[in-house]
Each structure stands twice: as C-alpha cells, then as structure tokens.
Structure 1
Amino acid sequence: MSLVIAVVVHSSRRALFEEAARTLSGVSLRWVSYEHEDDIRRQAADLLSDTHIDGLLLGPVPYAACRDLLPVDLRVAVTRSSALDLAMTLYRAMAKGWGQNPVSIDTFDNDTVDEVARALGLDRDRIDCLPYCREQRSEEIAGFHRRYHRKSAGNSYVISARSAVVRRLQGTVPLLNGMPVPSTIRAELHELALRIESTRASAMRFAAGIFSVSEQEGATNLERARVGLMNLLVNTPEFAEAWVENRDRRGVFVFAHKALFERVTNNWVSVPTLDEAENALGIRVAAGFGVGASARNCVLLAERAAARAEREGTPAGYLIEDNGLIIGPMTPARPTLAFSYRGHREGVEALAANVGLSATTLSRLAALEVSLDGRAISPGDLAESLGITDPSGRRLIRKLSACGLVTAEGSAQNHARGRPSRLYRLHIDESLSGPPTSGLTSTEAPARNEPGASARGREDAGYRPANRRAERDNPTLKGTT
C-alpha cells in the first residue's frame, strides 16, 4: 500500500520540494502551500480532517503553528537548516562579491554558523546570528537585521531562512534566501518514509498473549473460570481479528499482530479485560504478552510475562519482547487523567464559560477526546477517566449534551445482567475550532455566590477531597500536559 505524506511548505518553495521528491517512489504527496504564516493552522486543520496521511514533513514555523493539532501516532519530520544549506548560501554571496562584508543570519544555530565560518575561513566577529525561536515573529527578526545593517553603516547583507522575513526586507537591504538545498529535503523525506515503513512492519509482527486464571484461596472451579474467560475474550470486539484458543486447565492463548495488542492495551498501559474478568466472572487474571521473531518465541516470551504478572498478586499484565524490552505491570483499568492543561487553547476559556464548566475541566475533556480517537464513551467510563463519581459523570454528560458538545451513539451491553449503557461521542475539539457554541447563558450557569455552587462545580470538574489530599501527598500529580 502506498504511503501518503503531507508536505507543508511556503508557496515560493514548493517547486524546490517537488524537485527533491522526484526520487521518492511508492509515496503519494499531499501539498499544503501557504502564503502567510497566519494561514498555516487553518490549512493544516483542513488537511487532517479531510485526508488520511501516514506522515507529515514541515518546517519549524509550521510545526510550531499546528503541533497541537497533530495526532499522537502521526510520524512527523521537521526540516532543519543544515550546515550545507548555509555554506551554499555563503558561496552565493561570495559569487556576488559580498563575501567579506558583515552579514546577519537568522534561523541557523550558532554552532552551525561557527562550523561553517571555520570551514570557509570567515571572520566570525563579522557575522551576527539570531537562532530560531518559535516565539519570535517575522517583524522582530526583520528588526534585528535592520539594526545590524545600520550598525555596519549599510555595508552588511542578510541571510534569512524565513519567507516572511524575506518578504519584509525585500528591496531594502542586500538579501539572500537561506533555503535548504534539494539534497537536505530529499534526505528528510526518505528518512520519514523509512520510519513509517518501520512502524508498519513493527505493528505487523507476530505476537502472542496468555491470559491465565490465578490460583486463589477458596474453592475456585478453574475449569469453569477458564471457560468463562474464554467466552469473555471471544466476545470482546477488540479480539475479533485474533485467534483465541485454550492453553491448559486455567489459561487461554491469543494469537494476533502486535498492533492489535497495542490497541487492546492502550499502547501497553492497561488491560481492561482483566477488570472485566474480575467484575463479571469474579476471578483474578494475569496477562502476559510476547513479541518475537517466531510463533514459538512469542509463546515462550508470553509465558514468561504471564508468570511475572501472576507474581504481582493483583490483576496485572506484562510485555516481554525478544530485544529485552519489558513493560509492566499494566493496570487492569485505564488510568485516570491526572494532569490538566495550564496553558489553554484559544477559545477554551470562552467555551468553558458558555457551558458552565471550568477551563481546566474542558481541557481535560478535550485531552480525553484525543485519546478516544473518535470512539464513543459511556458516562461511567468518562467518570473513571476523569477521576470523578458516576453521578457526576452523568451530570457532566447532560451538561455537555445541552450545549451540543456530545451526541448519543447507541448503547453497549458490558455485562450479561443490567441495563445497557448509553454511549456518547465528544465534539469539544470540533467546537473549539468552529464557531462559538450556543449553549448555556450566564444566567443559566451557577452563580459564584449561590450556596453550594462552588461545591457542585468542583465535583463536576473532578476535584473531590480525596483528589486534593492525593495532590498534597504527591506533588508530582500537579502539573500540565
């Protein structure tokens, strides 16, 4: 299957990137060409919403503009100005007769400038450098060059790798565009394609899992427990593409690709099946996963991992790979979101005020939406992820539903008995990137001085006395993501 790589580039440099990509085979390129830096974020959002891509190539400026929009599993390569690019630009200056004049350079690192200056025998004292910093805007960089030009009595020239800076200085000072040479771009594209292929190959490696009923005190019928565990795994939708069979009197084998186990374990963080087995069947299960070069090797590694998980004394999982990597113990349930954003995205404060929640709660919900990757969630699972009570989770769903931030997506029957759980899909990220949501007015939201309003708000946000005590006892729980 052909790879799809998106390239975000200034329109003036697209021809250069197209030339560099001519030698790349088996790859389809999607182009995002921008004229102004303010357009990058919108165009990147449109690309990610409309097109499936396997990788993304872009420069430091586009990356800083849209990094929070990028999926966590997307392979990204950021092009950096290299010593070869600077050396070629300085040779062009020498060809123009500017070689011995003072020069001001932006974007390139000081170490790169020092290396090139030594190699070409240039006087480093006659070179002023402003390394790349994502907080600096193009007008500030242009001001740096103008000040140096006046300081050198108008004898200096400029090397800039920023298209916006080149546009601002065009016609006012001697100027050279320090754009990357095709070989630099070509190397970045090939390296990105190889990383994507390597990730695909790793995901398709053969893997094995062993779910073993732990020997417990009491009259546990191991045969019945194994049959129940077998039925639980067979009826779990995530294992639909796996081969499940009996191992022995108290164990079950699962054979699948590594990618399937990564999805089931939330990238080797938790094993929800262990929690389901304890709640639905009343048995403690240990899980072991093995990834190796052959089926036999995978099974041996999974057996070692299961034995190690069983020694934990509680439901747990372990992964052992043939390269020596060991991950564990994995928890039975998905861990709660222990962190929240301190620097909120633009629009979070306004949307939170409109909905009647704190910006911190809305940011945590946005982070949960990203981790779900489009999947629906029940109110109970939402409450578990945020570390709040089930009633608070249901109230939070009702509040989000009233503002159009969630939509109902059917139901799920997690246990043989009891009513099905309604499922909901979050739309917070969509609301943040679109027009303001029309929801609760300020009069509908709890007033600050209303009795009990503060307590209700804290409960909806997941701040309970137990959580506050945990933060006092463990300062590492306080922070940002």
Structure 2
Amino acid sequence: MVIGLVVHAGHRARFADAASTLSGVEVAWAVYEHEDEIRDRVAGLLADHRPDGLLLGLVPYARARDLIPADMPFSVTRSAALDLALAWARARGNGWPATPVSIDTFASETIDEVAEALGLDRSAITACPFDPDQPVADVVAFHREQLARTGAPYVISVRMGVAAALDGQTAVLHALATPGTIRADLHELALRIRNKRADGQRFAAALFRLASPRPDLDLARVGLQHLLLGTPEFADAWIDQRGARGVLVLAPASLFETVTQQWTGLPVLAEARDALGIQAVAGFGIGPTARLSVTLAERAAARAEQDAEPGAYLFTGDGVTIGPMGAAATPLAYTYREHGDLEDLAERAGLSPATLSRLAALERSLDGRPLSPSELARSLGITDPSGRRLIRKLTSAALVTETGSAQEHRKGRPTRLYRLAISEALG
C-alpha cells in the first residue's frame, strides 16, 4: 500500500514521525515550500507513484482537489481544538497574556469552543477563517492590522507562509496538527484503503434469468450465456448455467459495480432484448461467503421477476436492497428487506425506516468518503435546507460524525463534511 503525503517542507518531520507507526505502508512525498508549488507537486506524486490514497492539509486540498481521482480515498488533516489550546498554553508559558490575539485558519466554532473551555474573553480574539481563494498576503495583512490595533505580542497561525512573512515583526505561535492528530488520520485512511481493497476483491454473485418460459427455452438461455461471455466486463468472471432458465456469474464485487454503473442500471439487459429478443431479469448478491452470495442473488432475481418491466436488484448480506435497476440506469430506490433493528434505530432518530434504509445504502456506496449536507440532499433528491435538517437529526442521534470541511464554491465559507455511521449503529 502506498499513501501519498502532501506537506510543507517545514512539516515533513512531523508527518514522518506520525507515519512511523504504520507497517506495510510505503510513504510517497509531495513536499512544497510555497503554496503556488502545490499543484505541480501533487500532479507529480500521482503520476510517479500512483498512490492508493492521499493525506493532505486544508491548503493543499483547496489547491489540488480537482487533481485527486474520483475513486481515490483521501483524508484532509487539519489542526484541531487541542492544537489551538496547546498554542495558548505555549503563550502562557512564555509569559504572554492569552488575549488580545489574532488567529487564522481555525473555524469560528472551534475558537468559540476553546475560548469557552479556557475562560477567555472571546471579544478580544479576532479570527480569519480559512478561505481557499484568499492569498497569504491577505492573511498577513489581517494579522498586521490586528497587531497595530491591539498591540498583541503574538499571533496564532497554521499557515507556514504567514509565519514566514511575519518573521521578525512579531512572534508567531504555530497551531499545527500534532503527530497524534496526523497519526489518527493516517491510520483511518489506511483502514479505508484496506476495506476498499477487501470489498473490491470480495466475490459476489449475479443470476441472470429469462423473464418467462418460452418454447425455445434452452436456445434462449444459451444465447444469454454467450452474450454474457462476450461482454468485456465479464472477461475474468466465472459463468455457467443455473437451472433451466438461469445463468450464474461469479466475479469480484467491483466488477459488478462497473457493469451496473455503480448499481444504477444494467445496460446488458437492453442488449439482450435488442440483439437477441430475450427478456431477462437479474439479481445480484453480496455476502460474506460465496454460498450466501448465490442465495442472495437468487432472492434478488426472484424480486426482479415481480416487476412489470425487466430489471435487476441487489441484495446484500447486511440487509440492504438496491433497486430496481433498469436497462437505462433509472433512478435508484432503496428499501430494507429485514427491518428489526433498523426500525428501532429509525424511531430513536426521529426518521422513517425508508429514509434510514436509503441512508444505509448511500453509506455503503460512499465507502467511507465524507459528504456535505448539499451532497446528501442531492443523493436523496431533497432540498438543501432539508439536507441540513437531516444532518442535524443524524448528528443528534450519533449517526454521522463531522470530519472536516471543504470549499464547494469559490465564494463563501467552507461547508462542513460528515461521515455516515449507520452501519456501525446497526451493529
């Protein structure tokens, strides 16, 4: 496993210390001195090392996020409340007052939290929140203005470019992420990469079944089997007859994700209809064993046969159903086959079982990737305000965890990111 680390030259030792506890992981570095070098360094890292995942800070992420492949796991490490509190502790150790002071990069909510915990005068603390479009010179100008106004003996900064520009003019306390914070982010990223590999290598089953009996049943089944054998995506799959009118396919789960366009449709059904005149349905099964995967695929195919139009369903071992999947990638619908704990959890969270089951299916498709309230709303087909309200409900029920922030638009404040935690709550 290769993890790419995108860091400022002044942070390399800190990140190397954090990475030293990982075994079986090779670290590839993209080290920059100035922020305008970040994009070239990241592009070089991706081209030369082809890492399995990336760990990068707020500034590198803002500068190069469009370069990160869509299917690559990544984590954005950032200074936390603890790191800000430690900076204030160093100020006290130097004999400086806690306030007045100016701070950059930290979110106002984090500053409020730490100031309240330390009993500090919040009105004497000025903040310049992170803005990916704001140049270092503007952040430096902000600090200089506050220094001239308040006469504070120091500033608290996260960005190395700010510290370099202010060198000699005032003391700068770095509120950088501690090795412990970085280590936790690295371990979490490595685990996500391993889980993604395991999911991609895990075998799954698909059962293609002729939609109804017909006089030339054997000929039609053979035609369907030959069609599947000739489908490029199934080149490495095991394909054989299953019953009088079925064809069974065993392959890695990742292959089926590709052929169904991430479980949104199954174009091969349209090809069978148009090229061979065959009406067929399909069922997919993903379980902890090959035997259970086949059983789930048979149940999913039986469910598909109940619909008026030929389509496909996915049944998973943890109880999630995705479907119907039509030949033209019709919108997804999510249900839960076995309620039980889900209904109890939905009641505690103040949600309907249908909504919670859709969220459980969405969580699985995200594979650990965080999302914003707006992205959640788009995925569920609801309005942005409804998405924000849903996030608040999920937060109150401990069904999401906040993981950082991202700049979705060129202007405005960064939006918070959340990781769904429904599967864990269901046990």
1:195 corresponds to: 192
1:123 corresponds to: 121
Q: Residue 161 of structure 1: CA displacement? A: 0.3
Q: Residue 156 of structure 1: CA displacement? A: 4.1
Under a length normalisation based on structure 2, what TM-score does the superposition of the two structures give? 0.74
Code of the aligned partner of 1:9? V
Structure 2 counterparts to residues 92-241 of structure 1, below 5 A? 92-152=90-150, 154-215=151-212, 221-241=216-236
CA deviations on 1:124-156 (whole Å, 9 max, x unpaired) are 22211222222222111111111111111x234
CA RMSD in angstroms comes to 1.8
Q: Residue 311 of structure 1: CA displacement? A: 2.7
Is the partner of 2:20 in helix, strand or coil? helix
Structure 1 residue 261 corresponds to structure 2 residue 256: yes
CA deviations on 1:325-380 (whole Å, 9 max, x unpaired) are 211222324689xxxxxxxxxxxxxxxxxxxxxxxxxxxxxxxxxxxxxxxxxxxx
Aligned-partner Cα distance in 2 for 1:213–1:100:
74
Structure 2 counterparts to residues 423-434 of structure 1, below 5 A? none
Is the partner of 2:75 in helix, strand or coil? strand
**Kept in 2: contact 1:104–1:156 (CA 8 A):** no
Q: Residue 5 of structure 1: CA displacement? A: 0.3
Q: Residue 206 of structure 1: CA displacement? A: 2.7
Structure 1 residue 331 corresponds to structure 2 residue 326: yes
Aligned-partner Cα distance in 2 for 1:33–1:81:
19
1:23 corresponds to: 21
Q: Residue 298 of structure 1: CA displacement? A: 1.3
Structure possessing the higher relative contact order (Cα contacts under 8 Å, 6 or more residues apart): 2
CA deviations on 1:60-116 (whole Å, 9 max, x unpaired) are 111111111111110010012101111111111111111344110111122221222
CA deviations on 1:147-191 (whole Å, 9 max, x unpaired) are 111111x23421010112112211112211221111111111011
Q: Residue 308 of structure 1: CA displacement? A: 2.1
**Kept in 2: contact 1:101–1:157 (CA 8 A):** no
Aligned-partner Cα distance in 2 for 1:99–1:20:
31
Structure 2 counterparts to residues 366-377 of structure 1, below 5 A? none
Aligned-partner Cα distance in 2 for 1:99–1:226:
81
**Kept in 2: contact 1:288–1:305 (CA 8 A):** yes
Under a length normalisation based on structure 1, what TM-score does the superposition of the two structures give? 0.66
1:276 corresponds to: 271
334 and 43 in structure 1: CA distance in 2 versus 1, 3 angstrom threshold:
farther
Aligned-partner Cα distance in 2 for 1:108–1:68:
23
| Number of residue pairs aligned between Structure 1 and Structure 2 | 331
Structure 2 counterparts to residues 342-361 of structure 1, below 5 A? none
Q: Residue 220 of structure 1: CA displacement? A: 5.1
Is the partner of 1:5 in helix, strand or coil? strand
Q: Residue 293 of structure 1: CA displacement? A: 2.0
Code of the aligned partner of 1:47? L
* Runs of 4+ with deviation above 6 angstroms: none
Structure 1 residue 10 corresponds to structure 2 residue 5: no
Q: Residue 270 of structure 1: CA displacement? A: 2.2
Deviates more, 1:161-170 or 1:53-62: 161-170
**Kept in 1: contact 2:208–2:246 (CA 8 A):** yes
Code of the aligned partner of 2:227? L
Aligned-partner Cα distance in 2 for 1:65–1:332:
39
Segments of 5+ residues of structure 2 without an aligned counterpart are: 332-427
Is the partner of 1:23 in helix, strand or coil? coil
Aligned-partner Cα distance in 2 for 1:65–1:165:
17
Code of the aligned partner of 2:94? K
Aligned-partner Cα distance in 2 for 1:8–1:128:
29
**Kept in 2: contact 1:5–1:55 (CA 8 A):** yes
CA deviations on 1:421-474 (whole Å, 9 max, x unpaired) are xxxxxxxxxxxxxxxxxxxxxxxxxxxxxxxxxxxxxxxxxxxxxxxxxxxxxx
Is the partner of 1:180 in helix, strand or coil? coil
2:32 corresponds to: 34
**Kept in 1: contact 2:3–2:26 (CA 8 A):** yes
Aligned-partner Cα distance in 2 for 1:220–1:335:
31
Q: Residue 304 of structure 1: CA displacement? A: 1.9
Structure 1 residue 316 corresponds to structure 2 residue 311: yes
Segments of 5+ residues of structure 1 without an aligned counterpart are: 337-481
Aligned-partner Cα distance in 2 for 1:30–1:90:
33
